[in-house]
Chain A
Amino acid sequence: MDPTPLIDMQQVLTRYPSGRIALGGVTLRIHRGEFVFVVGESGAGKSTLLSLLYGALPAASGHLTVAGVDLRTAKSRAVRALRRQCGVIFQDHRLLFRRTVFENIALPLQVQRHPKARMVGRVEAALAFVGLSDAIWSYPDTLSGGEQQRVAIARAMARQPKLILADEPTGNLDYDTALQVTRYLVELQRKGSTVIMATHDLQLLEAFPSRVITLHAGAVVEDRG
């Protein structure tokens, strides 16, 4: 394993805009190729932790490095470059319903100014991975909730990111669909990505044994696996 961690957090503290502490003194290291579950009750700080990792929220104090980028001192250009290396899956999937599945999945490629001629191949491969090849020219609102979340996974993996951050991607899904979605993420980890998945679904932890970081009231209370 690469001795340099992909993510290095030392005593990171961040606050909500109201001033209340969202995460207080979090210290953890995540190495390349790991699959990590982040669990905890609602409001424990799972989403905040993930938001910190792609620069959507600033850390108020401490040390935070992701893929060699010190997010406390990085310029916005470096943060944008880091985001282009990440695949983010949101709980509400944030699909664009006025755009086709192709356009949704091609969006990160477009942001990266990927050659248009090669976009279709990339999108088809991502959709084939999540078993939705037939939906390429459909609109997201014609798909089920589980299918929409699979499209979100396809979007996150389209540019083959080294880090995938999944914020409760199974939160609105039934157990069987949640298992299927998590299986796709585990498969991405096996292909070489580092996957951090926030969830409050403890059954998934039994189905996919791996490292589990437990948060409570903005602090890491357990780190096992």
Chain B
Amino acid sequence: MRSDFPDAPTPVRLPGGWSLPPFGQPQWLALLVVAIAMWATSALWVGLQSVLQWAGTLQPEIHFYLPPGQPQQQQALIAALKQIEQVKRVDRVSRAETDAWLKRWLGGTPVAGDILPDTIRVTLSGNGDFLQEDLHDIAARFHASVNDEEFALLHARDRLTLASNILLGCGVVLMIGMALIVTNTLRLSLLAREDELSLMRLLGADEWFVQLPFLLEGGVIGAGAGALALVLQLPLLAALRALGLTPPSFAHLILPLLAAGVIVGFAGAVVAVRVRSA
């Protein structure tokens, strides 16, 4: 603006149109609050994505136990298990391996006698609607028992996906909350400049000309918050990589965070100017 008015001792700020209103403490505060909320939402999402990716690399294993000394029944059980679609691999765990595990579990005490059952390890490729029931049915058919606790891992991925969806819902609610923060800030800004705005209307200003600076202000607050949230993601991304996880790359976060910021800021501004002009 100064270049248009070279003789002006201070920068000239003419209101309306494409001129951005002055940025004061409420605007900075709103930017910070929205940035923190955006960072929290995106951090949870980034964390979940990393864990989901890690969970995708896991191969859940379920152990079946049979009373010792029944090799034919063991063969039949293995054959039945191999028929199930989600079963990737079936192994018989050797006696030496089970004895070594028990000895380790007992803190090094040698195991006396043949007390452990025969063990079959089933490696699964994924989960299915009736997989747990199918495995239990087979176990019952061959008088075997199943380690039910191991099904928890099988369900973990489903639960993580569910958590991801819940988080998405929370993110939408948080975005509405952030838009309300921007709305409130801009309403204060509009209130502080009520005299100027009503004067502009009395002088014949078009409504878009009066409202545009506030829409711009909302967009700038949102974009600024998105940029700040993006910068705050850097330490989190580094920490997740240090844990051996593979979080989404920084480049993948730029567009969603900036776009979400602008949308939130702009939506907040639209609500604010509509409420004030109504």
The answer, among A80, A88, A103, for a CB contact under 8 Å with B205, is A80
Q: Does B67 contact A (CB under 8 A)?
A: no
Chain A contact residues: helix, strand, loop or mixed: helix
Q: Is the CB of A110 within 8 A of B5?
A: no
Per-residue CB contact flags for chain B residues 1-38 toward chain A (1 = under 8 Å, else 0) read 00011011110111111000000000000000000000
> In the docked arrangement, what's the CA distance between A102 and B14, Å?
10
Which residues does chain B contribute within 8 Å of A120, judged by CB atoms?
5, 7
Q: Is the CB of A110 within 8 A of B14?
A: yes
Which residues does chain B contribute within 8 Å of A110, judged by CB atoms?
14-17
Q: Does A94 contact B (CB under 8 A)?
A: yes
Q: Does B196 contact A (CB under 8 A)?
A: yes
Given contacts A117-B4, A120-B5, A137-B9, contact A103 B14 (CB under 8 A): yes
Given contacts A80-B206, A83-B202, A84-B204, contact A100 B10 (CB under 8 A): yes
A interface bracket (residues with beta carbon within 8 Å of B): 20 to 34
Q: Is the CB of A83 within 8 A of B5?
A: no
Q: Does B48 contact A (CB under 8 A)?
A: no
Given contacts A106-B14, A110-B14, A116-B5, contact A96 B203 (CB under 8 A): no
Q: Does B195 contact A (CB under 8 A)?
A: yes
Which residues does chain A contribute within 8 Å of B15, judged by CB atoms?
107, 110
Which residues does chain B contribute within 8 Å of A85, judged by CB atoms?
204
Total count of chain B residues near the partner, CB < 8 A: 22
In the assembled complex, the CB of A24 is this many whole angstroms from the nearest CB of chain B, namely 25
Q: Is the CB of B203 within 8 A of A99?
A: no
Which residues does chain B contribute within 8 Å of A119, judged by CB atoms?
4-5
Which residues does chain A contribute within 8 Å of B202, judged by CB atoms?
54, 56, 83, 88
Which residues does chain B contribute within 8 Å of A84, judged by CB atoms?
203-204
Q: Is the CB of B199 within 8 A of A82?
A: no
Q: Does A108 contact B (CB under 8 A)?
A: yes
Q: Is the CB of B8 within 8 A of A108?
A: no
B: which residues have CB within 8 A of A? 4-5, 7-10, 12-17, 195-196, 199-200, 202-206, 209
19 contacts between A and B (CB under 8 A): A54-B202, A56-B202, A79-B204, A80-B205, A81-B204, A84-B203, A96-B195, A99-B196, A102-B5, A102-B8, A107-B199, A108-B203, A111-B16, A111-B200, A111-B204, A113-B209, A117-B4, A120-B5, A137-B10
A: which residues have CB within 8 A of B? 54, 56, 79-86, 88, 94, 96, 99-100, 102-103, 106-108, 110-113, 116-117, 119-120, 137
